[in-house]
Amino acid sequence: MVNNRKLGEIFSLNGLGELYEVKGEVFKRLKVAKFCLFLEKNTFIRPDHITVFNFFLGVFGLVLLFKNPLALSILLIVHFLLDNLDGYYARVRKIQSRYGRYIDHVADFIIGVLYLIVSAAHYGEAWMWILLMLFCGEMFILLGLGSAEDKFPSRVFLIFYIFGWYRLGLVVQAIVQPLSFVQYLAVKRMKGRHFGSGRVN
């Protein structure tokens, strides 16, 4: 019989340890580790350099939004690849830190906010501004919970933007974001109950 903890592990979208293991295996098969070792030995590039560069790459994408879909698609693909590379590079170099994860997630959050602002202004629809406020509100709650380095609002709409499905991406974001947040809180509470049940008074 599956217990509550197991259910939490199965349905958790925020098991970063397991997620990093999956990414690590994929990158290993793609020989990305060798590329990271090359960067370490032959360049001055650090993981935080990749994070900062990727942030400005995402900002530059705002210039292309609704103007050059093909160029934006290529840029967003590179953006997502680099978004995964910086953390993996840090783990390969064994210099990963909570601070690095925090900065990475905050940078992703800012990019998400900027794209939502431009999108809402472009369409001029009230519900998109509400989505933006929910996006920001979720991040502030996560900051209050001390969870900003482990979880940040989903940016699933940017995946749809790669294919030029802008409005559909925002609709999906409006559905997925609250579900993801509620699920995260439920799993966190479930894990808290599990660990609390083993206390000896």
Instruction: Please report the domains of the chain, with CATH numbers, ordered by start residue.
Output: 15-190 (1.20.120.1760)
pLDDT digits (tens, 9 = 90+) for 108-148: 999 999 999 999 999 999 999 999 999 999 999 888 887 76
- Any idea which residue has 């790459």 for tokens? 57
Alpha-carbon gap, residue 144 to 166, rounded angstroms: 31
* Poorest-pLDDT segment among 7-16, 87-96, 187-196: 7-16
**pLDDT for the residue 29:** 67
**C-beta separation of 190 from 5 below 8 A:** yes
Nearest to 120 by CA among 179, 60, 112: 112
User: Would you state the pLDDT for residue 31?
Assistant: 73
Confidence of residue 192 (pLDDT cuts 50, 70, 90): low
